[in-house]
Amino acid sequence: DKRVDDWPLMQSPFPTLTISTIYLLTVWLGPKWMKTREPFQLRFLLVVYNFGMVLLNFFIFKELFLSSRARGYSYVCQTVDYSDNVYEVRIAAALWWYYVSKGIEYLDTVFFILRKKFNQISFLHVYHHFTMFTLWWIGIKWVAGGQAFFGAQMNAFIHVIMYMYYGLAACGPKFQKYLWWKRYLTILQLVQFHVTIGHTALSIYIDCPFPKWMHWGVIFYAVTFIFLFGNFYYRTYKLPKEPVKNGKIANGAVAN
C-alpha cells in the first residue's frame, strides 16, 4: 500500500521486529531483574494508562465505523481501495493507529513485571501481545483497508470495554463490587474469534476479491486464540478449585 510507505514504522519491518525482540527480552530478563526488588506501586500510572487506552481504542473504533459507513463498506465482502479518497485514508490511518496501539499494549507486560505479577505473564499473554503487534505490520503494509476494517473495528470496541475494566480495577478495592463481569470479557473475546472465523470463511466461500493468503492466515490465527483463550476460561472458571486444608491449598501453595 503506497499510501503508508512514508508513515512511521512502515518503511521497513525491522523497527517492528526490533521492538518485538526487545519485548521478548524484557519478558525474559525483567522478572530476573525484579527478583530481589520490591514490587512497584503503580496505581495512578495504571489508572492513567488504562483509561488512556480506552480513549485510544474508542477513537480507532469511531474512525473505522464512521469512515466505513461513509464509504458504504460491506460487512460481507469489501475489497481494498488504495485511492487517496479522504475516507479511505482515514480508514488506513485508523488501522495504522490500531497497529500502534498493539505496540503500546506491550506496556501491559512491563507493568506486570514491575508489580511482580509474574503469574499473569502466561504463554497466552505473551503470544497474544507479540503476534498482534508483529503481524499487524503486515496487514497495514499490504491491506490498510477493505476487509481488514472489520476485525480491527470489532477488536477495538472490545478493548474499550476491557481497558475500562482494568481502569476501574486499578482504582482500588472500593470498585471491586462493580467488577463482577470479568469472566464475560473472556467470553466476549471467544465470541469475537468465532465471528472472525465465520466472517472470513464466508468471504472465502463467496470468492471475495481480497488476498486469499490473508484470509487463511486470519482463520488459522483465530483458531489458535480459540484454543488458548478457551483453555484459559476452562482453567479459570470451570476447573474445580483446589481444596483448602488448614489454611493451605492442597498442592502446597499458601492460601492464607
* Grid cell locating 7: 508513515
- Answer yes or no: 129 catalytic: no
pLDDT of residue 1: 84
- Counts for the chain of helices (H) and strands (E), in that order: 8, 2
pLDDT of residue 35: 94
CA 162/CA 169 separation, integer angstroms: 11
Of the listed 125, 128, 194, 199, which one is catalytic?
Answer: 128
CA 238/CA 141 separation, integer angstroms: 41
DSSP readout, 76-138? Answer: S------S--HHHHHHHHHHHHHHHHHHHTHHHHHHHHHTT-GGG--HHHHHHHHHHHHHHHH
CA 205/CA 212 separation, integer angstroms: 11
Averaged over successive runs of 10 residues, the pLDDT of the chain (256 residues) comes to 94 97 98 96 96 99 98 95 96 98 98 97 97 97 94 98 96 89 94 97 95 94 97 87 46 32
pLDDT of residue 251: 33
